[in-house]
Amino acid sequence: MKRVLFFIFTLFFSVHFYAQNYTPTLVLGKVWNMHHYDYFFPSNNYYFDIALDYMQTVNGVTYFHATNGDLLREYLATKKVYKLVDGVEELLLDFDLEIGDDLVSPIVSMIGNTNPIVEIGANSFHGISNLKYYGLDCGEKLIEGIGVQSVGLFGMSSGCDPIDYDEGNSLVDMAFLSIDDYFISNNIKLYYNKEIKSLQLKNASNLIDIQVYSTLGKEVLSIKTNSSMDVSSLEKGIYYYTLSKNHSVKKGSILIY
């Protein structure tokens, strides 16, 4: 007997990004809200989370550990995500693509079929605006910061290849990718106040760790506050910042003038 499991999902995540820049998929504290969905036996449906909960070093290489046991690594320079399988890194997702390129991914195709890119754009997905996506000829999308639109990182899409599983197969199915994030849920923002030459937090009731970096990557300021930080000593220009609270992280850039 065979049954079909379809993959759908939601994601909670912790960083604000811009489509013109590469949006990392692996961020400590990011949570994929999963739904095991059995089309033929709805009573078997259930919900669970998979999170990136800590960093783990294997043979001198540092990986993101997922709560389902996966070890993942992202190479920002090449825009590729790998999964460690039996001591070998296997390509999971490739975001360094142009129209006409073929995407080969175990998430999209169990048997390794190629799926050409027919569209590249930016849109809102799962409540997150301005994310870059790569549209496949089968209608599925590969989205920076999320993974495959219908299944994220931890499943297999039926959008390009129908997938039948034998009875009793333990592979999971995903429901709606959502984002469990302190900064998003509390609408916390960082902005520059020119009048008093300070960076100020909006909607922050608890202390937030703030680090400010130059465009060369040098940390120039670090403070824990729920209100503001003086930046009068900094030269005018663009700076990068990181806000941290528990496992949630928000990154961005800001102009000091």
| pLDDT (0 to 100) of residue 221 | 92
Same domain, 192 and 160: no
Tokens of 221: 């300021």
109: number of Cβ within 10 Å: 20
Burial class, 252, CB count within 10 angstroms (exposed 0-12 / middle 13-18 / buried 19+): middle
| CA–CA dist 7, 157 (Å, integer) | 6
Burial class for 242, CB neighbours closer than 10 Å (0-12, 13-18, 19+): middle
pTM of the model: 0.56
Domain membership flag for residue 127 = yes
- Residues 135, 208 within the same domain: no
Q: What is the pLDDT of residue 156?
A: 62
CATH number for the domain that contains residue 190: 2.60.40.3080
Instruction: Tell me the mean pLDDT per 10 residues along the chain, length 257.
Output: 44 42 81 66 69 87 89 93 93 91 72 75 79 86 83 64 35 38 78 93 90 85 92 91 76 84
- Domain assignment present for residue 6? The answer is yes
What is the structure's pLDDT at 228?
92
Does residue 12 lie in a domain region? Answer: yes
Token pair 């992280």 is found at 249
Same domain, 205 and 136: no
pLDDT value at residue 6: 43
Residues 53, 97, single domain; the answer is yes
